[in-house]
Chains A and B, each alone.
Chain A
Amino acid sequence: DGGITQSPKYLFRKEGQNVTLSCEQNLNHDAMYWYRQDPGQGLRLIYYSQIVNDFQKGDIAEGYSVSREKKESFPLTVTSAQKNPTAFYLCASSPQVGRNEKLFFGSGTQLSVL
């Protein structure tokens, strides 16, 4: 079954803690993305990656970090520097960046602060 798998579905963060959200894809896509969704604000791009070992900041990268060591994996770390981390986080992929192709989204991770 091809697609994008995000885990966990729900995650709780304590004050001062870093947490990592997992994103795995088996679509053989080169490009992967992380979006943050807040009510009434749409989807805002955090980071994206066009190829293994390369990634670029999106519109709201402060307080977040990513890695792309394998083509199929693009984990997102929400660091303690992100003061308002409560949101729904969506991972997506597409065959390539910059080709205006369909984005395939995972089912998301809801992050809340304890």
Chain B
Amino acid sequence: QQQVKQSPQSLIVQKGGIPIINCAYENTAFDYFPWYQQFPGKGPALLIAIRPDVSEKKEGRFTISFNKSAKQFSLHIMDSQPGDSATYFCAAGGTSYGKLTFGQGTILTVHP
């Protein structure tokens, strides 16, 4: 029940494309869903986060879509750029748990 399943494992798109990364969770007590971005040799950094009271959140070219009934959420990157090439992790957390559970990660490559 603590697992967060992320797909795909890797993704290749052309510049300007819209990569979509999906995550699914089981535990209905989760109430915080962040996405982290990690460049090679660096630690992850928070990209965007959503709470289940909204179905969508946008920050610049990054959008989270959230489907509470399906227990799924996804990250969309609009007008993707080569500089977006990185590993992306979804995560889920709940106030009662006190710590995040991370997905397996998606390696995104954006070709020029």
Contact = CB atoms under 8 A, between A and B. Distances in A.
Nearest to A99: B95
B91 to A, nearest CB: 8
B54 interface: no
Interface in A29-82: 33, 35, 40-45, 48, 50, 58
Contacts of B31: 100
B99 A97 contact: yes
A107 interface: yes
Question: Interface majority SS on A: helix, strand, loop or mixed?
Answer: loop
A58 B105 contact: no
A106 interface: yes
Q: Which size class do A's interface residues fall under?
A: 20 to 34
B19 interface: no
Of the listed residues B31, B43, B94, B99, the one surrounded by the most CB atoms of chain A closer than 10 A to its CB is B43
B95 A98 contact: yes
Contacts of A4: 43
Given A40-B9, A108-B42, A100 B93 contact: yes
Interface of A: 4, 33, 35, 40-45, 48, 50, 58, 90, 92, 97-100, 102-103, 105-108
By Cβ-Cβ distance, the 7 closest A-B pairs, closest first, are A105-B43, A98-B98, A100-B32, A43-B102, A42-B102, A42-B104, A97-B98
